[in-house]
Structure 1
Amino acid sequence: SIVNAKLLNIEGNRVLVAKGTHKEIGEAHGILLKNQINSLVDGVLYVVGWYYTIEEKKWFLSEMSNAYKRLEPFIPQKYQDEMMGLAETSGISLREIRLANVFPAMFHCSGFAVFGDATVDGTLYHGRVLDYMTEIGLQYNAVVFILHPTGSNAFANISYAGFIGSVSGMNDKQVSFGEMGGGGVGDWDGMPMPLLVREGLESSNTLEAALKLFETTARTCEYYYVIADGKINDARALATTPEKFEIVTPGGTHPRLPSPVKDAVLISAGDRYKKLVERVKEEYGKIDLEKAIRLMDRPVSMKSNLHNVLFVPKKAEFWVANAGQGTEACKEHYTKYNLTELLKLLEK
């Protein structure tokens, strides 16, 4: 363990708790997860890169470099510092760390929030399904980050060694975020999606503040989000592109989300969306923790189901399942974490 940082093992899962400046957090991340970061960067930049290059007939690393050049002006200095710290201690070049951190912007997923009349006792459950290339073994480098950067909210980020951004997270103000990819890859003039979510965790104390942040920040590509707030038992879905910012309220409609359900926001695509709606309607008013977890089972999650998370923001609790060797995350054990308890370790 190093100053202000510890690597824990909870039921066989890696949990990194750290506080300090962004640079210090990056340095701790690089020291404590060096092997996992090396494995992830190789898998992402070289294994995925090879598939991409063959499929798309475009050289992956130069595509990523071009994306990064356009994204860079929109990346706040504190996150640049964190990547620098990470590169310095992990022994991986800053260029590779930066390019690997563009990669999660390609993730595709499903998400939901159910509360009020939809659940047994009104509890808000926010679930998110991450589906992406389990073949490259990202799941072996899975990490739950519990971070408290100087001057920011403390938060949990369910991620992978070497990534500093977030696609699934919850902060100590009971605000939780889950992202789902759409299309529009190539519109890179804005803040990278994983860093926008991370900024939401760090700076948003309320659902309203999060919506404002996402609306006023220069955005990239096409993404959908579910953002929930346990303090007010409410959630919104967002449909965004660089030009477009649409808020979908619980029970509200959107051309891509045609089947509204009261006290619920449900996001997925095609048949997975239909199945998610069907499950929520079937269990309506009876959804408890276990049923909320089961909403994420196949076929709502895909064969490439990499991780699933269920947030209960009001209680600062969350459950995580990661893909195994050849098994989807939804078929694996869900481990329970408590953000408040884990943050206490930083006070000791």
Structure 2
Amino acid sequence: MNKYIWRLTFILIISILCIPIGLGNPYFHSKNTNALDGAWLEIRDGVRIMYLNGSYYDMGYQLGYFLKDDYLKSRRAWLYFIDKKLGITYDDLLHIWKELKDFIPEEYKEEMRGRADAVGLSFEEVAIMDVLDPAIRCVGMACWGPATSDGKLYHARSADFPLNVRDPVTADYASNDQLLIVRTPEKGFASVVIGLSIEVGAEGGLNENGICIGYTSVDTKNITIYGIPLGIRQRMVLDRANNIKDALNIISNNRTSGATNIISDGKERIAYVVEQTANYSYEGTWNGSIENNYPSWVIDHVVRRDNIFLDPVSAGLSDDVYEKSNFFRWVLSFFGLEKNYTYFWVIKHFKIFSDAIEKNYGRLNLNNTMNMLRAVYQGKTNLFYRFVQILGGPYSNVWYQWVICPETGNALVSFARNSISAYYNPVHYFNLYDLINGLPTIKSFHLQWKSPV
């Protein structure tokens, strides 16, 4: 068992299910049921938008039906990457799956069952794609009140992970599988998720009640496979949370791995950060008890996180873990001469991001927040960051970046395409509430993204 626990330090457990293989599904095969009712796929401004509707089984079937080829390519790409790069085999995934099966709410098992029927794979073969998600380097923030130009809350996230995840058959990039998924479940709240076709769990998004969520992973050995994986809990937040109190309760229970969540509520104009491992949990807002801990400092009405805990000791890390993470050890790690994980560049990245927030303080809004995010990642705010980007170092590969106003539903998003990171690609505007209501997004002049150049 230690073998699998050790390997899980490289990943965030996302979801799992166990359904008997080979059994027919009477729900799908009923003559009175059309599993595709209320579902469609469209391409808007070059971005795929998948609309799902109905029971959880139906939503799983709908996505698999419309995106079968993309799903199968992406599945091959991730299985190949996980095996070759992380050393996690198919058998390892099956083992984790079997251990996690009883913790997953039944509706998500139904959704997986529908997807398996649609793509022509066994339940097992589909299930393992929701067992794990790579431990990606990310940054997230939420700002409101005096930090923004209009007092409204803005929530941002950058998903940073190597772009060399490719289908071994077609050589297509898995990053091209990204899309918006609009879900209107029969039982639960409607939401929009920015993610991949292979996921039942959610990386981040917004629900109809103005609850927005995203996460960053944090390296820790304080993990377990006996709980509800983070991605499924994030999905539960979007499906079930009516307010921020509901969201905090869902995300903080049955924890499994190391992560920080930023959760915002557009109605209340408030955001919280949640730090968590299997045995540790902290939640607080911009002036919480740990926000002044190194390497952080309080920024009025701003919560932000990188791949770090601000209370590392409670999270199971040593009290000098950040002090030991100096530049010299970081360089040695590139040559395999430093065996311990070093936080030097994570800390540096966090400080660069925080400095950019302070520089734009009071002027942050939908456009300015996206422009700030792109400027940071393009190395325009820090020469050392630019140098690391040129070398292809950490935080140089970005799958997507988004900024959402949970109050209005206005959102900006950019995606990686092939080997080109999101921060160099076009930015797209959507109103997520219009998507939930099935309405066309009308771009007024002042809501379209405007580059500062």
Following TM superposition, by how much is the alpha carbon of 1:257 offset from its aligned partner in structure 2, in angstroms? 5.4
Residue 284 of structure 2 aligns with an amino acid whose one-letter code is V
Aligned residue for 1:9, secondary structure, equals strand
Q: Which has the higher helix share?
A: 1
My pick for the range that moved more, 83-92 or 334-343, is 334-343
Instruction: State how far apart, in whole Å, the 1-side matches of 2:45 and 2:58 are.
Output: 27
Q: Which has the higher strand share?
A: 1
Question: Within 5 Å, which residues of 2 pair with 1:4-19?
Answer: 4-19=38-53
Following TM superposition, by how much is the alpha carbon of 1:209 offset from its aligned partner in structure 2, in angstroms? 1.2
Instruction: State how far apart, in whole Å, the 2-side matches of 1:223 and 1:97 are.
Output: 25
Instruction: State how far apart, in whole Å, the 1-side matches of 2:401 and 2:415 are.
Output: 7
My pick for the range that moved more, 251-260 or 126-135, is 251-260
**Does 1:67 find its partner at 2:144?**
no
Residue 160 of structure 2 aligns with an amino acid whose one-letter code is D
Show CA shifts across 1:295-315 (max 9, x none). 322159811211111111001
Residue 266 of structure 1 aligns with an amino acid whose one-letter code is R
Instruction: With a CA cutoff of 8 Å and minimum separation of 6, indicate the structure with the bigger relative contact order.
Output: 1
Aligned residue for 2:255, secondary structure, equals coil
My pick for the range that moved more, 218-227 or 102-111, is 102-111
Q: Hey, what does 1:194 align to over in structure 2?
A: 231
Structure 2: 5+ residue stretches without partners: 1-34, 166-172, 307-345, 380-384, 386-393, 440-453
Instruction: State how far apart, in whole Å, the 2-side matches of 1:68 and 1:309 are.
Output: 31
Following TM superposition, by how much is the alpha carbon of 1:326 offset from its aligned partner in structure 2, in angstroms? 2.1
Question: RMSD between aligned alpha carbons?
Answer: 1.9
Contact 1:176 1:229 in 2 (8 A): yes
Instruction: State how far apart, in whole Å, the 2-side matches of 1:108 and 1:71 are.
Output: 25
Instruction: State how far apart, in whole Å, the 2-side matches of 1:79 and 1:257 are.
Output: 38
Following TM superposition, by how much is the alpha carbon of 1:64 offset from its aligned partner in structure 2, in angstroms? 2.1
Of residues 107, 118, 127, the one that matches 1:78 is: 107
Q: Hey, what does 1:231 align to over in structure 2?
A: 267
**Does 1:339 find its partner at 2:373?**
no
Q: Hey, what does 2:15 align to over in structure 1?
A: none
Following TM superposition, by how much is the alpha carbon of 1:256 offset from its aligned partner in structure 2, in angstroms? 6.2
Following TM superposition, by how much is the alpha carbon of 1:205 offset from its aligned partner in structure 2, in angstroms? 1.0
Contact 1:257 1:267 in 2 (8 A): no
Show CA shifts across 1:285-335 (max 9, x none). 111222211232215981121111111100122221111222211121121
Contact 2:136 2:159 in 1 (8 A): yes
Of residues 31, 38, 50, the one that matches 2:65 is: 31
Instruction: State how far apart, in whole Å, the 2-side matches of 1:92 and 1:130 are.
Output: 29
Q: Hey, what does 2:448 align to over in structure 1?
A: none
**Does 1:262 find its partner at 2:291?**
no
Aligned residue for 1:220, secondary structure, equals coil
Contact 1:105 1:193 in 2 (8 A): no
Instruction: State how far apart, in whole Å, the 1-side matches of 2:122 and 2:137 are.
Output: 27
**Equivalent residue pairs, number:** 340
Show CA shifts across 1:139-175 (max 9, x none). 2111210001111000001111121110111000001
Residue 277 of structure 2 aligns with an amino acid whose one-letter code is T
Change (3 A) 1:189 1:90: same
Q: Hey, what does 1:312 align to over in structure 2?
A: 405
Following TM superposition, by how much is the alpha carbon of 1:84 offset from its aligned partner in structure 2, in angstroms? 0.8
**Does 1:133 find its partner at 2:133?**
no
Change (3 A) 1:205 1:256: farther
Following TM superposition, by how much is the alpha carbon of 1:94 offset from its aligned partner in structure 2, in angstroms? 1.9
Q: What TM-score do you get using the length of structure 2 for normalisation?
A: 0.72
Aligned residue for 2:79, secondary structure, equals helix
Q: What TM-score do you get using the length of structure 1 for normalisation?
A: 0.93
**Does 1:41 find its partner at 2:75?**
yes
Residue 274 of structure 1 aligns with an amino acid whose one-letter code is K
Show CA shifts across 1:101-155 (max 9, x none). 1232633311000111111111111001111221112221112100011110000
Instruction: State how far apart, in whole Å, the 1-side matches of 2:225 and 2:268 are.
Output: 34
Contact 1:123 1:233 in 2 (8 A): yes
Of residues 364, 373, 392, the one that matches 1:287 is: 364
Change (3 A) 1:75 1:108: farther
Contact 2:208 2:436 in 1 (8 A): no
Show CA shifts across 1:234-259 (max 9, x none). 10011011211101311333446522
Instruction: State how far apart, in whole Å, the 1-side matches of 2:294 and 2:410 are.
Output: 30
Instruction: State how far apart, in whole Å, the 2-side matches of 1:211 and 1:49 are.
Output: 34
Q: Which of these two proteins has the greater Rg computed from alpha carbons?
A: 2
Percent identity over the alignment is 22
Change (3 A) 1:237 1:144: same
Residue 437 of structure 2 aligns with an amino acid whose one-letter code is K
Contact 1:174 1:229 in 2 (8 A): yes
Question: Within 5 Å, which residues of 2 pair with 1:83-232?
Answer: 83-104=112-133, 106-136=135-165, 137-184=173-220, 187-215=224-252, 217-232=253-268
Residue 172 of structure 1 aligns with an amino acid whose one-letter code is E
Residue 258 of structure 2 aligns with an amino acid whose one-letter code is E
